[in-house]
């Protein structure tokens, strides 16, 4: 499904803030509660007619293209986390995403193009961390 351009919103939709919990083993001694995978998210990067600003800022920036290591440090500080921990976790998540991409079944031409953008954007972000 393609997002519609309404021209009203200053930012992209904020579905990244949505979360659900998965419950396994309800009624047993082995109850396990985990976060569900992301859902209801659309990569607006693919659609040039959509606003590029994120709905939620990282650190001090709403532009994904301008987010830098300093912004992740600000995010860490605001969340009460260690700066090194957050920067290390960003790198770990980047590696996990890159490793998982070949395992994702893609049956849609738009999804293929979005999937091709992911490694490019991750590499650009990680290059800024290496400087």
In angstroms, the CA 53 to CA 10 distance is 8
- Give the tokens for residue 14: 């904020």
Q: Catalytic one among 13, 53, 61, 71?
A: 13
CA angle 9, 73, 12 (to 5 degrees): 10
What crossing angle do the helices spanning 69-79 and 83-100 adopt, rounded to 10°?
120
13 classed as catalytic: yes
DSSP 12: -
DSSP 66: T
Strand ranges (E), 1-131? 21-24, 32-35, 53-58, 61-63
Which CA distances in Å does 112 have to 10, 57, 118?
27, 27, 10
List residues with catalytic annotation.
Answer: 13
């Amino acid at each position: 499904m393609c997002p519609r351009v309404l021209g009203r919103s200053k930012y992209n939709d904020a579905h990244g803030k949505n979360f659900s919990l998965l419950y396994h083993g309800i009624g047993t001694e082995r109850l396990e509660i985990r976060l569900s995978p992301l859902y209801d998210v659309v990569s607006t990067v693919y659609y040039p007619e959509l606003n590029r600003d994120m709905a939620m800022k990282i650190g001090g920036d709403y532009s994904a293209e301008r987010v830098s290591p300093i912004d992740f440090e600000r995010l860490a500080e605001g969340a009460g986390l260690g700066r090194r921990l957050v920067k290390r976790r960003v790198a770990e998540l980047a590696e996990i995403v890159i490793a998982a991409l070949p395992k994702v079944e893609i049956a849609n031409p738009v999804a293929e193009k979005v999937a091709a953008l992911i490694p490019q954007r991750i590499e650009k972000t990680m290059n800024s961390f290496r400087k």
